[in-house]
A = this chain, B = another copy of it.
Amino acid sequence: MAAAVLQAVANLGNDHEQVVPITLFVAVLCLCLVVGHLLEESRWVNESITAIIIGCVTGFIILLISRGKSSRILRFNEELFFIYLLPPIIFNAGFQVKKKKFFQNFLTIMLFGVVGVFISASIITVGSWWLFPLLSFKGLTPRDYLAMGTIFSSTDTVCTLQVLHQEETPLLYSLVFGEGVVNDATSVVLFNAIQKIDVNRLDSRTVLRVVGDFLYLFTSSTALGISAGLLTSYCLKSLYFGRHSSVREISLMALMAYLSYILAELLRLSGILTVFFCGIVMSHYAWHNVTENSRITTRYVFAMLSFIAETFIFLYVGMDSLDIEMWKMTKLSFGTLIGVYGALIFLILLGRAAFVFPLSTLCNYMSKRTDRSSIVTLKHQVIIWWAGLIRGAVSVALAFKQYTYSGITGDPINATMITNTIVVVLFSTLVFGFLTKPLVRYLLPHVANSKASVLPKPRSPNEDITLPLISLEESTTTNLLRAKDSLSMLIGRPVHTIHSYWRKFDDAYMRPIFGGPNNGHSAC
């Protein structure tokens, strides 16, 4: 059998170019699944680490079989990543998120995910601009430094989320998760905005233009995603597909979600943001318009696609890290390389600390007056800081976009930047990743102990206050009185109040058109 496979591989060459790498990848993916399952209860390892290690081992074996030749089939292809692998991951994130918690902490999440990336990217850009020449690594252009700031500011929170649980530490989970998604989107959008800058004329207007570009992309992408989600919900509700076949319902949801992403990419918006909000809207409306079987299926099928795509990416990064040609091209001395890696890791640690702790303090100050339940303690801050240190697939994809042309580079400086990125990704995933479970266990002992010991959280009494501002059937006087109350509340607890208004509006106008649970108040 093995001989037959080898012979077949040798024979095929040009004939079935795509078949060999696909077979290899699918086989290794299956292996990852089984190993990941067996290691599920391990204290140190998680799925990402397993996949990266298996990827490295596979890459090494291929290298041995091909006798040290680089195998072109295993080069990272950022188009594959952005067109096929990223959309299911982000859509599933939006589809499965607990919307209530997400929107209650919306301000904090946006501060971390947007302002944080700007701060971190600035620190990494300035720091590397100053440090790299000192380490005798020269030759990067200003645009390269700017891109580097963004590349190394995009976090990968998959690993940490495997340790935290939505039910046990809802605040922490929603902050880490929400920041992760917004951060992915922000770094891609910022990266694209930087590409348009005229680096020879860096002044305050440039900064303004980047910020303006960013805001435009952010709002238009979100609007597109919400529209796509609402359109799907409306179609499913009004045409009632389930009458004939559940298969069509599920297909329509999946295809519309993908369409929103790819349309956003076509219009040069941020597909990530679009598909994330499309996922939120679909789980809020469309999901309630389909048959029971379709509901179960969609929950699992989107999770499955996301899971496979994630594993695929980590495998890919693992295999790619042994791209021998890239390593040979680097002309720097060993000492310089170690210095550069150290500098990058230090800048990442610093850049993240520089926004997590100040912004948390700011948020705590804002919410201290009204809502003690959303205070971010110092322990939580440390976990948030740590959770975002891991660099993942988005970093690699952006690096390939910046420093290669169709996955190939002939320039030693660019090759070095690619290997730098891969080293940082491997180091952060393996070292920071290994330490995450112990750290969370140390800082939050009750989370790690057992799921059975979790007590039901005492509900904040404020949460139950309903604000019937838009109740149309009551007298004007009552409404005016209530509006006064509401107004004072709006000043005191802005996010919470907006959320309450939104729920009223949702029940009165949105759900009758786009669908939702029959009993009204259950979800977001």
- Docked Cα-Cα span, A30 to B22, in Å, equals 28
Copies in the complex: 2
A26 contacts the other chain (CB 8 A): yes
Task: Give Cα distance in the complex from A95 to B244, angstroms.
Answer: 21
A256 within 8 A of B: yes
Please determine whether A235 and B268 come into contact, CB atoms closer than 8 angstroms: no
A239 to B40, CA, bound (A): 12
Q: In the complex, how many angstroms separate the beta carbon of A157 from the nearest chain B beta carbon? A: 18
Cross-chain contact B307 with A266 (CB below 8 angstroms): no
What 0/1 readout, one digit per residue, does chain A (21-48) give for beta carbons within 8 Å of chain B?
A: 0110011011001101110100000000
A30 near B259: Cβ-Cβ < 8 Å: yes
With a cutoff of 8 Å between Cβ atoms, the chain B residues found around residue A523 in the complex are none
**CB contact between A22 and one of B83, B293, B301, B304 (< 8 Å): that residue:** B83
Residues of B within 8 Å of A266, CB to CB, are: 5, 8-9, 12, 16, 19-20, 23
A20 and chain B: residue at smallest CB distance: B266
Q: Does A103 contact B (CB under 8 A)?
A: no
Q: How far is the CA of A38 from the CA of B243 in the complex (A)?
A: 11
Residue among A255, A293, A308 facing the most chain B CB atoms (10 A cut-off): A255
For residue A273, give the distance in angstroms from its CB to the closest CB of chain B: 17
Q: Which of A200-248 contact B (CB under 8 A)?
A: 235, 239, 241, 244-248
Main secondary structure of the interface of A (DSSP, over half): helix
Distance in angstroms from A187 CB to nearest chain B CB is 19
Closest chain-B Cβ to A140's Cβ sits at a distance in Å of 24
Contact between B18 and A239 (Cβ–Cβ < 8 Å)? Answer: no
Q: Residue-by-residue, is A252-266 near B (CB-CB < 8 Å gives 1, otherwise 0)? A: 101110110011011
Q: How distant is the Cα of A235 from the Cα of B9 in the complex, in angstroms?
A: 27
* Proximity bits, A292-332, B CB within 8 Å = 1, else 0: 01101100110110011000000000000000000000000
> How big is the A interface, by class?
35 or more
Chain B, residue nearest A22 (CB): B262
Asked whether, in the complex, the Cβ of B36 is within 8 Å of the Cβ of A248, the reply is yes
CA distance A248 to B40 in the complex (A): 11
Q: Contact string, A69-112, partner B, CB cutoff 8 A, digits 1/0? A: 00000000001000100000000000000000000000000000
A297: nearest residue on chain B (CB-CB)? B300
Q: Which of B12, B79, B307 is within 8 Å of A251, CB to CB? A: B307
Q: Which residue of B lies closest to A307 (CB)?
A: B247
A4 CB–B CB distance under 8 Å: yes
Check if A171 is an interface residue, CB within 8 A of chain B.
no
Query: What 0/1 readout, one digit per residue, does chain A (152-184) give for beta carbons within 8 Å of chain B?
Result: 000000000000000000000000000000000
CB distance from A406 to the nearest CB of B (A): 11
Contacts of A12 in B (CB 8 A): 266
Interface string of A335-358 (1 = CB under 8 A from B): 000000000000000000000000
Top 9 nearest A-B pairs (CB, nearest first) are A297-B300, A26-B259, A40-B244, A23-B262, A301-B301, A297-B297, A247-B303, A296-B296, A250-B304
A-B contact pairs, 30 of them (CB 8 A): A4-B267, A5-B267, A8-B266, A8-B267, A12-B266, A18-B79, A18-B83, A19-B265, A20-B266, A22-B83, A23-B263, A23-B266, A26-B255, A26-B262, A29-B255, A33-B251, A33-B255, A34-B235, A37-B239, A247-B304, A250-B304, A251-B307, A254-B304, A255-B308, A293-B296, A294-B300, A296-B296, A297-B297, A300-B301, A301-B301
Known contacts A19-B265, A248-B307, A254-B304; 13 further A-B pairs (Cβ under 8 A): A16-B79, A16-B265, A18-B79, A19-B266, A23-B259, A23-B266, A26-B262, A30-B256, A30-B259, A33-B255, A247-B307, A251-B308, A297-B297
